[in-house]
Amino acid sequence: MPKSFWHSCKPAKVFAFPFLICFFVVVGGTLAQTGSPTRLSDSEVRERVDALIKQMTLEEKIGQLSQLFVFEPTKDRDDAVAKGQLGSLLFLTDPAEINRYQHLAVEKSRLHIPLIFGFDVIHGFRTVFPVPIAMAASWDPSLAIEGQTVAAREARAVGIDWAFAPMLDIARDPRWGRIIEGAGEDPYLGSAMAAAQVRGFQGDYIGAADHLLACMKHFAGYGAAEGGRDYDASYIPDTLMYNVYLPPFHAAVKAGVGSAMSAYMDLNDVPATGNRWLLHDVLREQWGFRGFVVSDANSVKSLRIHGYAKDLYDAAVLGIKSGVDMEMAIGETAFSANLLTAVQKGDLTAQQIEDAARPILEMKMRLGLFENAYVDLPRAQQILSAPEHRVVSRRAAERTAVLLRNEGNLLPLRQDAYKKIALIGPLADSRRDIIGPWVFQYDLKETVSILDGLRNKLGPKSEISYAPGVQIGRKFPSFFDAIFREAKPPVWSVEQAKEEFDRAVRLAGSSDLTILVLGEKQDMIGEGASRESLELPGRQQELLEGVVATGKPVVVIMMNGRPLNLTWASQHAPAILEIWYPGTQGGNAVANLLLGDAVPGGKLPYAWPRNGGQIPIPYAHNTTQAPEDQGKRYWDEDSTPLFPFGYGLSYSSFQFSNLKLSESAVQPGETLDVTVDLENTGNTPADEVAQLYVHQQYGSTSRPVRELKGFERVTLAPHEKKTVHFSLGKNELSYWSTAKKDWVEEPSVFDVWAGGDSSAQLHSTFAVVP
Ligand code: NOJ
């Protein structure tokens, strides 16, 4: 979020509100569950909204189009709500306060139209789940459904009706901090995770009990920020826009997502928030989206900063004309200050205002807010403390871990072999870091750090000693610091830093095994957390080298949301386990994974570069001149990634065989079946992700060397064999041709590979014939 925006925020007093019983008594209506008591048909929704709109003044319609942040209550805002001048509030999490505002809207405003409350429910609410990039690494859409179902349940219980998620931005530049919020570099995996999250948040339909409205964001192209610098402009050619950046959004629309958030940046010199091509032509005309579009925070007002709008009046008019329905802002919206005048002056029509208000009212109606606007406070308490939510979170953390290296099968650990264990690293005992960024309602008392988890698991059987070794921190503070004021430990003096470093290395030397936790603190990744390098921050590389030099076995655990430089580690540390930011139960999950009570089965959702100079290094690149040198494009470093897209090891081993295609040739529009046998050839029950890649050999444009077109995470008992089925049809074989300026499915020869990552070798071909 731009600095100017957050700088105008006050500290978040709202988070300190006690969990009070609301002062008024809610009469009538059932409060047992949230959501609509009955599912309304489209025509019922339309009729009710038509009837409401007939009664609304132009000012009341304009009111619905404004959404304000609440960091502390103000009289002006209360008055605006009571007068129907606001449609939505965001960043409230205290159910009593939500009820108070809703009471003002429902009881005091002329037409009793409820507010819709929005919040960033990104990877959990009270129960924190692994960050979204981790959920993508599970390659298990059903896990994403489960996680967002729990998140929705907890958030809705306190009165949050609308989650600003899922974030569907494809990211191919890990310097961009928001890579952590998405599903990585691939549109196929990204689309599967998009649809799953929409399903988890919204349930079977918008208004389903204990679910909320999802908001796909940031529409679109934000992940391609120049230089990975957050908020900077994106320049995306149509071939990448249609084939890579847009598909996850389209998948979310097909899954029925009810709202979309416009992005902050310029897309090819037209700000996304003032971009009618995006918000109207693609979203509504091409895809038939019928929900509403909210701007990102202050991004309508920012149209002026971009040098696109002349002033705030112009920005408001451009916002509406481009297809923004609701403006998210702090202080005041450009919409509330200017839209009435714009209609009076003829720069906008009353119909345009009504068209923006209608889908907002429809969503409020579908969510059941007109019948059931208030929060049941005791029930909210109960849901937030549901123990089963923590179980789902722990299981998710186990399923998202990716084993990157395991020389000599060091993992799983044989507990009896290591009596003295050194746990080292600045993140190893941090409850705040293990839950990652974009969480606000966590409870650190119930959060399990890696040290906690190991102690829970090993009890007195092993002696675990902890030393942080180094401290790490940002060069420039995060803007979130100013708002949320999380406690920070004091910075060590130079002498103390030396002492701590030496103590950690000594501890490693005197132990039977070191578990070294490396990575980034949670404020080093996420919004406003881009960086120019992929090196391990601070003196972590030195610490790693010092610990490895002791000659004792070392397990490296990575806590991060972007790939960091592990080139040295991948040659010298026998075991590397990627755990991301695994959430509330992270420490228990890590202990289970290390000891073999859970088996890693996750796979990388991006190709892992050797260092920052290789960026971008998508696996789906084109073959060009001198393909035999493809891995040697630089004279000073390999031009292949350190770990390929889709990569991840297991404690077991697998074999793919018998790749079969139902047809050797199909016509455009026809489908062929692909099967491959997958066997667990080891002695451990474990998961493998069967992945299918396709390459079109020639056509009206060059096509990537490989593209993911199918995957399935499979659990197999030792020596069990299963046949995995895929199908390839129009959806998988067509693409946007920049030469034809259209979607095409072209006659060509196609390569097919199946295997456990994007370097799979099991190969076949088929043809699409005219
Ligand atoms: C700005 C972020 O870009 C967006 O993702 C978030 O939902 C809004 N602020 C609201 O916090």
Q: Are strands 735-737 and 742-744 parallel, antiparallel or unpaired?
A: antiparallel
Give the C-alpha separation, 452 to 447, whole Å: 9
Going by C-alpha positions, the residue among 357, 307, 358 that lies closest to residue 335 is 357
Please give, one letter per residue, the 3-state secondary structure of 442-463.
CCHHHCCCHHHHHHHHHHHHCE
Give the C-alpha separation, 655 to 682, whole Å: 10
pLDDT at 32: 53
The CA 621 to ligand 1 mean position distance, Å, reads 31
The CA 164 to ligand 1 mean position distance, Å, reads 7
Give the C-alpha separation, 762 to 664, whole Å: 16
DSSP state of 635: S
Atom 4 of ligand 1 has which residue's CA nearest to it?
A: 296
Indicate which atom in ligand 1 lies nearest the CA of residue 165: 7
- Residue 296: CB within 6 Å of ligand 1? yes
In a mutational test of the pocket of ligand 1, which residue from 6, 14, 298, 527 has the highest number of ligand atoms less than 8 Å from its CB? 527
Quick one: tokens of 728?
């390839």
Indicate which atom in ligand 1 lies nearest the CA of residue 118: 10
Atom 7 of ligand 1 has which residue's CA nearest to it?
A: 164
Give the chain's end-to-end CA distance (angstroms, integer).
Answer: 50
pLDDT at 33: 67
Going by C-alpha positions, the residue among 372, 365, 369 that lies closest to residue 28 is 372
Going by C-alpha positions, the residue among 701, 699, 702, 707 that lies closest to residue 619 is 707
- Residue 217: CB within 6 Å of ligand 1? yes
- Residue 164: CB within 6 Å of ligand 1? yes
Query: What is the crossing angle of helices 540-548 and 494-509, to 10°?
Result: 30
Indicate which atom in ligand 1 lies nearest the CA of residue 1: 1
Longest alpha-carbon distance in the chain: 81
- Residue 543: CB within 6 Å of ligand 1? no
pLDDT at 154: 98
Give the C-alpha separation, 545 to 413, whole Å: 22
Give the C-alpha separation, 430 to 521, whole Å: 9
In a mutational test of the pocket of ligand 1, which residue from 69, 164, 167, 230 has the highest number of ligand atoms less than 8 Å from its CB? 164
The CA 296 to ligand 1 mean position distance, Å, reads 6
pLDDT at 8: 41
In a mutational test of the pocket of ligand 1, which residue from 70, 181, 261, 438 has the highest number of ligand atoms less than 8 Å from its CB? 261
Are 56 and 353 in contact by the 8 Å Cβ rule? The answer is: no
Residue ranges for the chain with pLDDT beneath 70:
1-33, 37
pLDDT at 461: 83
Instruction: Return the percent helix, strand and coil in the chain, to nearest 5.
Output: 35, 20, 45
Atom 11 of ligand 1 has which residue's CA nearest to it?
A: 120
pLDDT at 485: 74
Are 669 and 644 in contact by the 8 Å Cβ rule? The answer is: no
Three-state DSSP class for residue 641: coil
- Residue 168: CB within 6 Å of ligand 1? no
pLDDT tens digits, one per residue of 62-82: 999 999 999 999 999 999 999
Atom 9 of ligand 1 has which residue's CA nearest to it?
A: 297
Are 62 and 339 in contact by the 8 Å Cβ rule? The answer is: yes
The CA 525 to ligand 1 mean position distance, Å, reads 15
The CA 521 to ligand 1 mean position distance, Å, reads 20
The CA 64 to ligand 1 mean position distance, Å, reads 19
Q: Annotated catalytic residue: which of 140, 173, 296, 325?
A: 296
Indicate which atom in ligand 1 lies nearest the CA of residue 164: 7
The CA 429 to ligand 1 mean position distance, Å, reads 29
Amino acid at 394: R
The dihedrals phi and psi of 654, each to the nearest 5 degrees, come to -135, 155
Atom 1 of ligand 1 has which residue's CA nearest to it?
A: 1
The CA 242 to ligand 1 mean position distance, Å, reads 24
- Residue 1: CB within 6 Å of ligand 1? yes
- Residue 297: CB within 6 Å of ligand 1? yes
pLDDT at 38: 80
In a mutational test of the pocket of ligand 1, which residue from 217, 265, 295 has the highest number of ligand atoms less than 8 Å from its CB? 217
Give the C-alpha separation, 328 to 594, whole Å: 44
Three-state DSSP class for residue 687: strand
Is 296 annotated in the active site?
yes
Residue 8 CB partners (closer than 8 Å, separation 6+)? 330, 331
The CA 304 to ligand 1 mean position distance, Å, reads 19
Are 583 and 432 in contact by the 8 Å Cβ rule? The answer is: no
In a mutational test of the pocket of ligand 1, which residue from 8, 68, 120, 213 has the highest number of ligand atoms less than 8 Å from its CB? 120
